[in-house]
A and B are shown apart, each in its own frame.
Chain A
Amino acid sequence: MTVWPEERVLTAEEASFNTVDMTINIGPQHPATHGVFRMVLTVDGEVVVDCEPYIGYLHRGLEKLTENNDYRQAMGYWDRTDYLAGMCCEGAYCMAVEKLAGISVPERAEYIRVMMMELSRINSHFMFLGAFGADVGSFGTSFVYAWRERERIYDLIEEVSGDRMFPTYFRVGGVTMDLPENFERRCHEVLGSIRQGIEDLDGLLTGNEIFVERCRNLSPLTTERAIALGVTGPILRATGLPWDVRKAEPYSVYDRLDFDIPTGRQGDIFDRYFVRLSEMYQSARIIEQCLQELPKGLVLNPGLPKTLRIDKSECYVRNEGTKGEYGVHAIARGGVKPYRMKLRSPSFCNLSALREMVVGNYLADAIIILGSLDIVLGEVDK
């Protein structure tokens, strides 16, 4: 029988005890914190009374170093912000520079970019499934299942671009080089294996009664509260609002593609998990459409100058990153280096809502609430 913290009634004897709230430090090194993140919980028995997150252990100076490098060189830093899905971040950065300079991208390159971004999204969500399963209790099993598929996606990305995680395959004005000849066959193979992998993980986790019992009705979030806190991405979609930047403010060729946006009902942990699981099927659908509709042509804008100089210009480009709205606010003021590029990172905003979600729940649930936020510290700490 589950007794939620707010339903627990103290007996007369228990109420007369003198108790002291305990302070527990979790992190920065901890197998469950998904990176160098520290939180200090104040617990009354098993119930969390206060939570203070400390970030900045991976603050590496993305924005300062971007101001010090060329427009084309700086992309290497932006890959490494969301290190689980390198090419989604590259896409956002390249879009920002292209908006500043007014450079257009050939259609074939747009379709290739969309395919690579959706593959990266599937990659990141597999990591979420593995890590979240590990948080809830299947310590290694979900990880190994997830990584079997991730290695196949890495192999495919490596065939296309040469590197597994941070290919710097996108360029300002297109992509570096065209797809290899057998890409379509290989991609269909990988997509088939991905679908099987998602089903396996679905059976492993959703079919597990302990998982569902732990996750349902835990820390529900309303849409109004989510919007006020700045939360976007799968967490906002789990609250019931089907808002996705790819549909609300479409970029690249997403307005020509047909896909659904899965939503949840009450914004609890189980809904967030299930929304991400369903999104992976939609991403696979997008990739198949792109393969069918892929036009012939160039992959890089041929009219690009040798050095990219951009005069006074400003833009705020928003992408649907894997964790939410990934925004790049860019300011150019002449010269070859960007003047200011700010990253609006989804994990930073989602994490600022942690305190509200954790307070009032049990200590063990605090870990899975953190896991359900699916943060990546490269983005949070910039």
Chain B
Amino acid sequence: MSETSAPEPYVPDFGAELERLLPVELPHAVAAYKLVLPGVAQVPVDTILAMSRKSSLWPMTFGLACCAIEMIGTFMANHDLDRFGIVPWPSPRQSDVMIVSGTVTKKMAPAIKLLYEQMPNPKYVISMGACATNGGPYTEYDRVLQGVDKIIPVDVYVPGCPPRPESLLDGFLALQRKIMEEKRMVG
């Protein structure tokens, strides 16, 4: 009688999950102008390019959860990000920054990797909020990825749950400083 048999012990089967959660492969690209203008002439070009990149960062609108609401609030008239040249752009093919705002679940991770790969170089990632940093308040649940930096490389971490719009603004300014220091010249 199947109704009176002892229940089988619970053995979860995770399918192909571990392959889906491998980190993205980083591109090994060198900008053409660095090969053509080595040395002295490269420094002013680097500086001008960095100045133009930091002044016109176009984030891909990638709101996952509650942090997305504060991110939208930062774009809006009260805290205006447009004055820094930051224009939200829906397509990954034409954006510079990806703001991962919200909890990254293991179901969403392959989509995030794909979007990161679709962005052209040079690209930056801002991890906004506690969930994208290390899983946040949901870190103990096994369906949650403990931080988006497990799958893509992150440049700036903005703490908060959710971070105030002023905090996100501070994160963007830190990214601008980072770009000027040329610590991340990919391509």
Contact = CB atoms under 8 A, between A and B. Distances in A.
A and B touch in the complex (CB under 8 A): yes
Please provide the 7 A-B residue pairs with the shortest distance between their CB atoms, ordered closest to farther. A61-B141, A83-B66, A147-B76, A31-B90, A60-B138, A151-B78, A57-B108
Contacts of A377: 65
Contacts of B64: 35-36, 57-58
B143 interface: yes
B107 A59 contact: yes
Contact of A60 (B69, B115, B143, B162): B143
Given A35-B64, A165-B70, A378-B65, A58 B78 contact: no
Interface in B17-75: 60-66, 68-70, 72-73
A65 B62 contact: no
Interface string B93-105: 0000000001101
A143 B75 CA distance: 10
5 contacts: A36-B65, A60-B65, A60-B141, A77-B137, A154-B73
B30 to A, nearest CB: 30
A258 to B, nearest CB: 32
B151 to A, nearest CB: 15
Interface of A: 28-31, 35-36, 56-61, 64-65, 68, 76-77, 80, 83-84, 127, 143-144, 147-148, 150-151, 154, 164-166, 377-378
Chain B interface main SS type: loop
The CB with the most chain A CB atoms within 10 A, among B65, B105, B111, is that of B65
Contact of A65 (B90, B141, B164): B141
Nearest to B131: A60
B169 interface: no
B66 A166 contact: yes
Given A68-B140, A76-B137, A144-B77, 18 more contacts: A29-B111, A35-B64, A57-B111, A58-B65, A59-B107, A60-B143, A60-B144, A61-B144, A65-B140, A77-B138, A83-B65, A127-B69, A147-B77, A147-B78, A154-B73, A165-B66, A165-B69, A377-B65
Interface in B155-172: 161-162, 164
Contact of A35 (B65, B140, B141): B65
* Chain B residues touching A, range: 20 to 34
Contacts of A164: 70, 164
B105 A60 contact: yes
B105 A143 contact: no
A148 B78 contact: yes
B184 to A, nearest CB: 23
Nearest to B106: A59
Contacts of A35: 63-65, 68
Max chain B Cβ within 10 angstroms of own Cβ: one of A57, A64, A68, A378:
A57
A378 B142 CA distance: 17
A81 to B, nearest CB: 10
B108 A31 contact: no
A165 B69 CA distance: 9
Given A31-B61, A83-B65, A84-B69, A143 B143 contact: no
Nearest to A155: B78
